[in-house]
Structure 1
Amino acid sequence: MRSAIFGLVFIALTGVAFSVQTEEAEPGLTPRVQAAGQAHVPISVDTQMQNLPVPGVSIAFIDGGRIAWTRTYGLADLATGRPVSTDTLFQAASISKPVAAMAALDMVEEGLLSLDAPVNEQLAGWKIPDNALTARTPVTLRHLLSHTGGLTVSGFPGYASGTELPTVEQILNGAAPANTPPVVVDLAPGLRQRYSGGGITVVQLLMTQAAGADFTDLMQTRVLGPLGMSASAYAQPLPEALADHAATGHRADGEATPGRFHTYPELAAAGLWTTPSDLSRFVIGLNDAYTGRSEVVLQQPTARAILTEVRDGWGLGLKVAGQGRDLRYSHSGSNDGFRAMMVGFPERNQGVVIMTNGDLGGVLIASLLQAIAAEYDWPGY
């Protein structure tokens, strides 16, 4: 028997879990960066949430190819006092990207897309504007998924409730009502990694054209449905029927995001609503494909390509580090009022997803990851 973080005690051999809700069982959190020789008194999760402030957090831990435990703290909505539950929906923000990348690579396996042919040869209508840089090295899907295509627009601020939403082509052209500049190449493709949500939006357009389908339906058919992610949807704006299940975003001053949350028509880059348990099913699916235990969406060679470094610590849609048993992948998420993190260890068959509804959630996530890594002997933290 081992005492796991957050007061959850598991019988490892049987997989039976008992919840021990005692303050003593919770190890407490310490700063991610600590000064040598200085004592750092651990504080509780609730205390750090209040100090930041971060209203709510939801966590799911994967071990042995299953969701081993979950934990929730705080409130999904301060105004109503509604607590966070395991069913509470959060904006995955940029964690939308690796989930979309899995679907794109499923289309590569099917022969609908090419990973290394020029993207402009696969696009109809809108194309990446040509210039001297693209003439020398055309942008490919591999470039886009690894953020090495030299494209601009790192991220998106979203649109306040009731605001007119742009089409994908308007976003890429930087045309009204889009609130971001045009997506262009201003760095030689393949030269280095530079994060580009604009590049992933090109992928979104590419996928819908190749599949002849709406992006929301495409993702449901290719990834969300097969992996059993029944609580997840690339739904922007969020349907009214789901609003009561969604967390409200909160900014650094503790105030709610106006209208509760922003809308992100940049679906592949930032548009996924989900839960930690559902994102854990993505982690399990990728871990299983990588090791060959199961190939529900992707075949093993493709999964291994995802977690092979292309450049500067990035694979195809995910950051990668370590090797062998210590190989890990990760992706963070940051939308207005939301912060999230997903980590997987395919050879250890473990991982964790942490989602918060506060702009300062990244600070809390760093402390939680440090505590989890210490408990489960994870390297790199």
Structure 2
Amino acid sequence: MSASASSDLDAACAAFAEQERIPGLAAGIVQEGRLVHVTALGVADREAGRRVEAGTAFRIASMTKNMTALAILSLRDRGKLQLDAPLEQYVPQFAAVKPATRDSAPVTLRHLLTHTAGFVTDDPWGDRVLGMSSAELDRVIATGHLFARPPGLAFEYSNLGYALLGRVLTNVSGEPYQAYMRRTFLEPLGMVGTTFDAPAAAKGDYAWGYRLDGDVWSRERIEPDGEVGAMGGLATTVPDYARYVSFLLDAWPARDDPETGPARRSSIREMVLWHAPPFVADPLPGARTPQPSAYGYGLTHSSDALLGMRIHHAGGLPGYGSHVLMLPERGWGVFAFGNRTYAPMSRLTLQIAEMLHEASPPLPVAPPSPALVRAIDAVVAAYASGRIEGGDRPFAVNFLLDTPARLRDAELASLRARLGEGRLERIEPVHALAGRFVLACAKGRLNGTIALSPEADSGIQKLILSPAGAD
């Protein structure tokens, strides 16, 4: 990263911290598996004047959830549990919970992972009960008013749901949730400065959390580690979290390489699929129009018109705000931590991602598959001759049944009369069996969209031709 780009990023972080009145801020940028930039500014301890450093630990709250989700998938991959099994199979106490309605489906692990269990959104409550004991969680299960609606009907963000996933991990793995997470993820990834025990972390280089009421600052109490840490208990540092983000991003692209991480690459990619009903988020002040999004397992996936696949999750606790944003198609990860109550760090990570996009060259286009090249060459030859049939044209069985040759020939004649002779300018693969292409013609351009059949000898099953700029 150039000195000028680094300076611009630091300036953006400083301006954001001043605007949002955040005492201390730490941010990191991961690119192609490396931490390439760190911003650390402000104070970790207002009273002592201690500065934020790259290794200062912050609580990241609900950003813990995607690690919890991945831990569930790791047990699923080992055949230890099933996502669509009733929760009571792994948490027997839940069998006594009265269903939302008599015809409700049982709550499953998949419901918990996707926030579709029907539980009420519970951020204010959940943010203050991280130290809940096992007995207290049992009382919530036994006597709580759990359901806002039947399971499976709608997305409603639930800390309790992820707390119950922590209990599942404890019961199925045979060791406490925190111990399983430390052994399975933190230690293999070298995250030596990451812990669920915030009081212990506070004895070292730790960012104390603050709230601002009017113009009066006060230090938030430290919520201790407890039975429900799976919903938001982690405290981590920029170098440590960069290792985790690099591990997640290494799941792209899909490939034949041996697995090297603590969870399968395919399971990480599975996490970011749209598993819950889609939504459009409220617009951020001064930001672009929000893009369609949906929750996966512990991560949100937005189809961003500018940035492409945007994977993200926020965290908020009394005293803290955090956000991670990943662009798997680019290999980039951006994350930011702040030590003010519910600091809106998602505004900063999106701004940084857009800055990186603006300063970077376009993504290279993947080469087309031989089957796609052969099919498009056949279309180019058909355009030149004015006849859809002839030579070795790779057509699927449906192609000339769906649109007879005489109609295809008439279309080619009309396009050629309008545009003149043409030559292939470029191919833009969507994947190995579909793509777009452009013919540069004497009097304009011809756009094509093509899809091949899923056979050993793939043939053209769909072909759309249109002059550039046509309706």
- TM-score under structure 2 length normalisation: 0.65
Tell whether 2:261 aligns with 1:301: no
Classify the secondary structure of the residue corresponding to 1:206.
helix
* Structure 1 residues 50 and 305: alpha-carbon distance in aligned structure 2, compared to 1, 3 A threshold: closer
Q: Which has the higher contact order (CA 8 A, sep 6+)?
A: 1
Which of 99, 116, 127 is the aligned partner of 1:157?
127
Which of 234, 245, 252 is the aligned partner of 1:272?
234
1:306 Cα deviation (Å)? Answer: 0.5
Distance in 1 (CA, whole Å) between partners of 2:272 and 2:20 is 34
* Structure 1 residues 295 and 328: alpha-carbon distance in aligned structure 2, compared to 1, 3 A threshold: farther
Distance in 1 (CA, whole Å) between partners of 2:121 and 2:137 is 10
Q: Report what 1:188 is aligned to.
A: 150
* Structure 1 residues 336 and 347: alpha-carbon distance in aligned structure 2, compared to 1, 3 A threshold: same
1:328 Cα deviation (Å)? Answer: 1.9
Which of 257, 264, 275 is the aligned partner of 2:219?
257
Q: Is this contact kept in 2: 1:308–1:315, CA < 8 A? A: yes
1:86 Cα deviation (Å)? Answer: 1.0
Distance in 2 (CA, whole Å) between partners of 1:150 and 1:94 is 19
Which of 83, 87, 93 is the aligned partner of 1:119?
87
* Structure 1 residues 64 and 26: alpha-carbon distance in aligned structure 2, compared to 1, 3 A threshold: closer
Which of 322, 331, 341 is the aligned partner of 2:323?
341
Distance in 2 (CA, whole Å) between partners of 1:27 and 1:244 is 25
Tell whether 2:129 aligns with 1:167: no
Q: Report what 1:369 is aligned to.
A: 350
* Structure 1 residues 258 and 368: alpha-carbon distance in aligned structure 2, compared to 1, 3 A threshold: closer
Q: Report what 1:19 is aligned to.
A: none
Letter in 2 for 1:355: F
Q: Report what 2:194 is aligned to.
A: 232
Which of 69, 74, 97 is the aligned partner of 1:106?
74
Q: Report what 1:178 is aligned to.
A: none
Tell whether 2:354 aligns with 1:354: no
Tell whether 2:111 aligns with 1:143: yes
**Could you report, residue by residue, the CA deviation over 1:350-376 in whole angstroms, capped at 9, with x for unpaired residues?**
1111001012621x6514531442232
Classify the secondary structure of the residue corresponding to 1:76.
strand
1:257 Cα deviation (Å)? Answer: 2.4
* Structure 1 residues 307 and 365: alpha-carbon distance in aligned structure 2, compared to 1, 3 A threshold: closer
**Could you report, residue by residue, the CA deviation over 1:152-204 in whole angstroms, capped at 9, with x for unpaired residues?**
352213269xxxx53134135349xxxxx936133121111110001001101
**Could you report, residue by residue, the CA deviation over 1:63-88 in whole angstroms, capped at 9, with x for unpaired residues?**
11111111101110100111101111
Stretch moving more, 64-73 or 283-292: 283-292
Distance in 1 (CA, whole Å) between partners of 2:9 and 2:188 is 36
Q: Is this contact kept in 2: 1:134–1:189, CA < 8 A? A: no
Which of 250, 275, 283 is the aligned partner of 1:310?
275
* Structure 1 residues 59 and 125: alpha-carbon distance in aligned structure 2, compared to 1, 3 A threshold: same
Letter in 2 for 1:348: R
Classify the secondary structure of the residue corresponding to 1:255.
strand
Distance in 2 (CA, whole Å) between partners of 1:183 and 1:347 is 42
Distance in 2 (CA, whole Å) between partners of 1:275 and 1:128 is 41
Stretch moving more, 288-297 or 115-124: 288-297
Distance in 2 (CA, whole Å) between partners of 1:167 and 1:140 is 23
RMSD in angstroms over aligned alpha carbons?
2.9
Which of 210, 222, 229 is the aligned partner of 2:184?
222
For structure 2, the 5+ residue unaligned runs are 279-293, 361-471
* Structure 1 residues 350 and 135: alpha-carbon distance in aligned structure 2, compared to 1, 3 A threshold: same
Tell whether 2:44 aligns with 1:82: no
Stretch moving more, 142-151 or 294-303: 294-303
Compare the two structures and name the one with the higher strand fraction. Answer: 2
Alignment of structure 1 residues 24-43 onto 2, 5 Å: 25=8, 28-29=11-12
Q: Report what 1:34 is aligned to.
A: none
State percent identity of aligned pairs: 25
Q: Report what 1:49 is aligned to.
A: 17
Distance in 2 (CA, whole Å) between partners of 1:278 and 1:65 is 13
Stretch moving more, 320-329 or 294-303: 320-329
- TM-score under structure 1 length normalisation: 0.79
Tell whether 2:302 aligns with 1:321: yes
Q: Larger Rg: 1 or 2?
A: 2
